[in-house]
Chain A
Amino acid sequence: MKLRTLIIRSSLVLSTAFSSMSIAEEEIIKVGVLHSLTGTMAISETTLKDTVLMMVDEQNKKGGLLGKKLEAVVVDPASNWPLFAEKARELLVKEKVDVIFGGWTSVSRKSVLPVIEELNGMLFYPVQYEGEESSKNVFYTGASPNQQAIPAVDYLMNDIGAKRWILLGTDYVYPRTTNKILESYLKQNGVKPEDIMVSYTPFGHSDWQNIVSQVKKFGSTGKKTAVVSTINGDANIPFYKELGNQGISAQDIPVVAFSVGEEELSGFDTSPLVGHLAAWNYFQSIYTPENEAFIAKWKTYIGDDKRVTNDPMEATYIGFNMWAKAVAAAGTTDVDKVSDALIGVTVPNLTGGVAVMNPNHHLSKPVFIGEIQDDGQVEVVWETPGTVRGDAWSDYLESSKNIMSDWSAPMSCGNYDVVAGKCSGAK
């Protein structure tokens, strides 16, 4: 394992080494990259590793940061959750990196969390997640449920007129928490319990006959029915195939997915999926000069004209730029000082607005709902009028509605109980 890491790292470092050869050791700012390059998650995470490397490369072309060159340190946690903690420790203790970009699944983030808090590191986490968490050392640049799931449900409820709801998910923490929030949100909006159906399937589920047939039956009562899917990973492909085979079209029962984006759709025949929905904070198809430039840059960097961009890439892009801006403002890479400087930092996002880092370490971002097209792209059909502020603790769950997070002084607390008036977690 060590050897492989070493090889990957050295080959990557070599490319930047030519330019930094003459610069002494202390003149370098180290950027840790903690994404799986092998195993089940490699398909999604490798792209993010390349995105960070591209950003580092570009920053160096601009002259680095604080007059120092940036150097990326890449490790491979191999889709193995405990290994994420080990590799994070290695990055912080041995490599002494100044910041880490990494993680995809919630379980990998949960695994890294104690390490990064113990060693006071800094992690940028770029993927949509279930919320109900706020750490002093983590900056969440992906969507929280109120920036993805809730707006999607709003769209289906108000614009499509959905009255009956099917919540399908893979059986693990992200879908379970998200569905709990959604169920509670739907009930608060007057949806009757008998109009909600929840079903979980194991990872990699492939026999969708029964579930799709149940969806069909549930949707044939005369009320508009919509499916909210938190199905994760490659189980989506047989699911959509079965939908197509049983003749459920997006016009009858639309399926909105939170884990399906351009990358997952690429190389897959999307004609049976046309019209089904996806909710994200970014789509490649959104036409802005920033986005066109980013897509062009990405295609040249990766050397493949067929590669696509997606939401977690934008989140990585925003996170990196925010960090760079905060370091420049703080004049140091010290974690505490940069953390303070990060709050309130604004950078342009790729969809034509600005992203703000809020005191709860979550971003304010616009939310887009798009329909899948037959070329694998997603066309926006709805968007929030402005940006939505990321909420660490959901307002729709009994257990967390009174909790807020504010890491700016003087509160400096990730889970402040508004009613009890005290901070219940570690400072």
Chain B
Amino acid sequence: MNFNILRIVILICFTWSSLVSAKSDAQFDKLVAKLPTSNFKSLAPLLDKIALSDDPRSSELLGRLSQGDVYFVPSSKQVLYMAKDAQGTRTYTDVITTQAIDTPQGRLKKVRVNNYIRTLIQQLQAQQNLNNPDKVIRLSAAKEILRDVDSIYTETLNKRLAKEDDEEIIDILDVIVALKQLKSGDENQLDDSLTVLKGSLEPDVRATLMNELNAIDKHSASSIKDIQRVLDTIDRKRKWYGYVENIFFGLSLGSVLLLAAIGLAITFGVMGVINMAHGEMIMLGAYTTYVVQQLFPDLLTYSLFIAVPAAFLVSGLVGIIIERCVIQFLKGRPLETLLATFGVSLILQQLVRTVFSPLNRQVASPEWMSGSWQINPALSVTFNRLYIILFSLSVFFALLVFLKKSSLGLHVRAVAQNREMAKALSIKSNWVDAATFGLGSGIAGIAGVVLSQLTNVGPNLGQAYIIDSFLVVVFGGVGNLWGALVSAMSLGILNKFLEPLTGPVMASILVLVGLVFFIQKRPQGLFPKKGRAE
């Protein structure tokens, strides 16, 4: 296709440009002046020319273009960069003079790019950056070339290899050379190339191997067999990493369930209150995150650290109010408690609708929460999930320590085990109830902060998690925090291993059916509460 033709054009241009070192500023200026009138079709050759103009300004132009920072003034056709800082203040720089300029008059038009142009720019940049003094830039350039090994000459690669001293980059360049050898169909080089490729987990290596497998006219039957063998080795490794990835997904789902359920494990498990408004405590936590971000727009990076205590306080206070105003009068009447708290949940939902609007609110994710940690080419772990697993476990253990070591924790456990006896020992059981309920609700609020990073923040957020929370608590065994941990994680992992086989809808049905049978056999859950109470 025309992609290939273009690639050849780029190659030729590059070799040529290194020969012709005569560069002229005027040429670059002329090319830039053409940007406002170009369309997607004429932009590609224009960018080629800009890249090979060898002008020091060209690499910035290409980079900014792919980021969408290049604009022009429709009337004067002046081309400029627009930069926006965290406060949203815009600054403008002229592309040709590279001088800062005043805000131009009138509406600016953008020099738009599409996927094709973006890919082209990346290739152009990768070629330029392979000789960059910065190791990080060279590495990403090498990775970029790996995605399309046809875009570079073997000689160019070998030249770079001779100079390169970074192990990681050498490895990638070796793989690129091996891929080129494999693709050439040269039987003599096949063994060398396969030896290099055997250890590589790169998706592009696997893709190329699969393509070569089908190229029967290019390879002899025995080499096809060799290729198949290497492919099998790679697939075995990838499969193994696939399991690791699934376990991670399961743990991440489990840790979300754990956070959502752990508050309930306290209110339902320890106090025996069926709190249908638990989901709304989660929702309030999520909205607190939103409010925090609205109040401190400059502190986006730290907004979650502010939101966690804030959400704990907000949800905790609302929890205490609910306990004092509603639940304490309904002690020992579970059905009435259930209905009353259900009513409270509806009131809270409507309240949020009235105050914020029925539409979803946008909660931004800080920079450090996005992206992923590439452990190896076959296994990567997204940062937001990783942090959430760690966070959720630390909340769990903090709570455990609190209940075991603090005096309030001691009182909570005492009241839970035997209310009358605790009262006789001068524990104010009413206040312990309120504090316990506040604690459970506060942790639900923290869960809301976490969920705001994963899902949409809207009035119905809590409803989606209330059922799951009850499931976790019942499955784990009422009144046992360790039970909640084990059940949340096992439900998460079970779900994630079923999902690829059956699809998400069927997976949750199967998990539910399985739970029904489990509860039938073992109504007290995985880890029943020990003790003589009741």
Instruction: Identify the A interface with B (CB < 8 A).
Output: 38-39, 42-43, 161, 171, 199-202, 204-207, 209-211, 213-214, 217, 220-223, 234, 237-238, 241-242, 244-247, 250-251, 254, 267-269, 272, 274-275, 371, 373-375, 379, 381
Asked if B456 contacts A206 (CB within 8 A), the reply is yes
Which of these, B207, B383, B499, contacts A222 with CB under 8 Å? B207
Other than A245-B384, A371-B115, give 6 A-B pairs with Cβ distance below 8 A.
Answer: A206-B464, A209-B382, A209-B385, A213-B249, A234-B458, A374-B68
Instruction: Identify the B interface with A (CB < 8 A).
Output: 1, 40, 68, 110, 112, 114-115, 118-119, 122, 203, 206-211, 242, 245-246, 249, 252-253, 256, 358-360, 362, 364-365, 370-372, 374, 380, 382-385, 454-456, 458, 460, 464, 496, 499-500, 503-505, 508
Residue of chain B at shortest CB distance from A219: B203
Centre residue among B1, B245, B504 by max chain A CB count within 10 A: B504
Asked if B372 contacts A245 (CB within 8 A), the reply is yes
With contacts A200-B505, A205-B504, A220-B203 taken as known, whether A247 is within 8 angstroms of B372 at the C-beta atoms is: yes
30 contacts between A and B (CB under 8 A): A39-B358, A42-B358, A42-B359, A43-B359, A199-B503, A201-B504, A202-B508, A204-B456, A206-B454, A206-B456, A207-B253, A207-B454, A209-B382, A209-B385, A210-B504, A211-B499, A211-B504, A217-B242, A221-B207, A221-B210, A222-B206, A222-B211, A237-B456, A244-B370, A245-B370, A245-B371, A247-B372, A269-B362, A373-B112, A374-B68
Residue of chain B at shortest CB distance from A161: B1
Residue of chain B at shortest CB distance from A206: B455
With contacts A204-B464, A371-B114 taken as known, whether A274 is within 8 angstroms of B456 at the C-beta atoms is: no
A residues less than 8 Å from B207 (CB atoms): 220-223
With contacts A238-B454, A251-B119 taken as known, whether A201 is within 8 angstroms of B496 at the C-beta atoms is: no
B residues less than 8 Å from A43 (CB atoms): 359-360
A residues less than 8 Å from B455 (CB atoms): 206, 238
Asked if A268 contacts B110 (CB within 8 A), the reply is no
A residues less than 8 Å from B253 (CB atoms): 207, 209
- 4 closest residue pairs by CB, A with B: A222-B207, A206-B455, A220-B203, A245-B382
Which of these, B206, B500, B508, contacts A221 with CB under 8 Å? B206
Q: How far is the CA of A213 from the CA of B248 in the complex (A)?
A: 12
Q: How far is the CA of A43 from the CA of B360 in the complex (A)?
A: 9
Residue of chain A at shortest CB distance from B382: A245
Centre residue among A42, A202, A234, A272 by max chain B CB count within 10 A: A234
A residues less than 8 Å from B119 (CB atoms): 251
B residues less than 8 Å from A268 (CB atoms): 362
Which of these, A222, A237, A275, contacts B114 with CB under 8 Å? A275
B125 to chain A, nearest CB (A): 13
Asked if B360 contacts A234 (CB within 8 A), the reply is yes
Which of these, B118, B380, B505, contacts A246 with CB under 8 Å? B380
Residue of chain A at shortest CB distance from B369: A245
Centre residue among A38, A222, A250 by max chain B CB count within 10 A: A222
Asked if B499 contacts A210 (CB within 8 A), the reply is yes
A102 to chain B, nearest CB (A): 19
With contacts A201-B505, A210-B504, A274-B68 taken as known, whether A247 is within 8 angstroms of B456 at the C-beta atoms is: no
A344 to chain B, nearest CB (A): 36
Q: How far is the CA of A199 from the CA of B456 in the complex (A)?
A: 21
A residues less than 8 Å from B112 (CB atoms): 373, 379
Residue of chain B at shortest CB distance from A171: B505
A161 to chain B, nearest CB (A): 7
A residues less than 8 Å from B380 (CB atoms): 246-247
Which of these, B1, B209, B362, contacts A267 with CB under 8 Å? B362
Residue of chain A at shortest CB distance from B242: A217
Residue of chain B at shortest CB distance from A271: B68
B residues less than 8 Å from A237 (CB atoms): 360, 456
B residues less than 8 Å from A244 (CB atoms): 370
B residues less than 8 Å from A241 (CB atoms): 365, 370
With contacts A199-B503, A205-B504, A234-B456 taken as known, whether A375 is within 8 angstroms of B360 at the C-beta atoms is: no
With contacts A201-B505, A238-B456 taken as known, whether A254 is within 8 angstroms of B115 at the C-beta atoms is: yes
A residues less than 8 Å from B245 (CB atoms): 213
B residues less than 8 Å from A204 (CB atoms): 456, 460, 464
Asked if B118 contacts A251 (CB within 8 A), the reply is yes
Q: How far is the CA of A234 from the CA of B206 in the complex (A)?
A: 35
With contacts A209-B249, A234-B458, A374-B68 taken as known, whether A222 is within 8 angstroms of B208 at the C-beta atoms is: yes
B382 to chain A, nearest CB (A): 4
A residues less than 8 Å from B460 (CB atoms): 204
Residue of chain A at shortest CB distance from B455: A206
B495 to chain A, nearest CB (A): 9
Q: How far is the CA of A238 from the CA of B208 in the complex (A)?
A: 32
With contacts A221-B206, A234-B360, A245-B372 taken as known, whether A200 is within 8 angstroms of B500 at the C-beta atoms is: no
A residues less than 8 Å from B252 (CB atoms): 209
Q: How far is the CA of A211 from the CA of B242 in the complex (A)?
A: 13
Asked if B372 contacts A246 (CB within 8 A), the reply is yes
Asked if B372 contacts A275 (CB within 8 A), the reply is no
Asked if A250 contacts B115 (CB within 8 A), the reply is yes
A residues less than 8 Å from B382 (CB atoms): 209, 242, 245-246
Q: How far is the CA of A234 from the CA of B365 in the complex (A)?
A: 17
Residue of chain B at shortest CB distance from A247: B372
Q: How far is the CA of A38 from the CA of B122 in the complex (A)?
A: 46
Q: How far is the CA of A225 from the CA of B68 in the complex (A)?
A: 25
Q: How far is the CA of A250 from the CA of B112 in the complex (A)?
A: 16
Asked if A210 contacts B249 (CB within 8 A), the reply is yes
Asked if B114 contacts A210 (CB within 8 A), the reply is no
Asked if B454 contacts A222 (CB within 8 A), the reply is no
A47 to chain B, nearest CB (A): 12
Which of these, B122, B256, B385, B500, contacts A214 with CB under 8 Å? B500
A241 to chain B, nearest CB (A): 8
Residue of chain B at shortest CB distance from A238: B455
B residues less than 8 Å from A161 (CB atoms): 1
A residues less than 8 Å from B454 (CB atoms): 206-207, 238
Q: How far is the CA of A237 from the CA of B365 in the complex (A)?
A: 12
Q: How far is the CA of A241 from the CA of B457 in the complex (A)?
A: 14
With contacts A201-B505, A220-B206, A268-B362 taken as known, whether A375 is within 8 angstroms of B371 at the C-beta atoms is: no
Q: How far is the CA of A152 from the CA of B253 in the complex (A)?
A: 34
A residues less than 8 Å from B384 (CB atoms): 245
Residue of chain A at shortest CB distance from B147: A252
A230 to chain B, nearest CB (A): 15
B residues less than 8 Å from A214 (CB atoms): 500
Centre residue among A217, A245, A379 by max chain B CB count within 10 A: A245
A residues less than 8 Å from B110 (CB atoms): 373, 375
Q: How far is the CA of A38 from the CA of B349 in the complex (A)?
A: 14
B199 to chain A, nearest CB (A): 17
Residue of chain A at shortest CB distance from B209: A222
B15 to chain A, nearest CB (A): 25
A166 to chain B, nearest CB (A): 13
Which of these, B242, B364, B505, contacts A202 with CB under 8 Å? B505
Residue of chain A at shortest CB distance from B122: A251
Q: How far is the CA of A316 from the CA of B503 in the complex (A)?
A: 37
Q: How far is the CA of A220 from the CA of B378 in the complex (A)?
A: 11
A77 to chain B, nearest CB (A): 15
Asked if B115 contacts A275 (CB within 8 A), the reply is yes
Asked if A251 contacts B206 (CB within 8 A), the reply is no
B residues less than 8 Å from A202 (CB atoms): 504-505, 508
Centre residue among B114, B458, B464, B496 by max chain A CB count within 10 A: B114
A278 to chain B, nearest CB (A): 13
Residue of chain A at shortest CB distance from B465: A206
Q: How far is the CA of A268 from the CA of B252 in the complex (A)?
A: 25
Q: How far is the CA of A275 from the CA of B66 in the complex (A)?
A: 11
Q: How far is the CA of A381 from the CA of B211 in the complex (A)?
A: 29
B235 to chain A, nearest CB (A): 11
B240 to chain A, nearest CB (A): 13
Residue of chain A at shortest CB distance from B377: A220
Q: How far is the CA of A400 from the CA of B504 in the complex (A)?
A: 30
Residue of chain B at shortest CB distance from A268: B362
With contacts A209-B249, A245-B372 taken as known, whether A381 is within 8 angstroms of B40 at the C-beta atoms is: yes
B residues less than 8 Å from A371 (CB atoms): 114-115
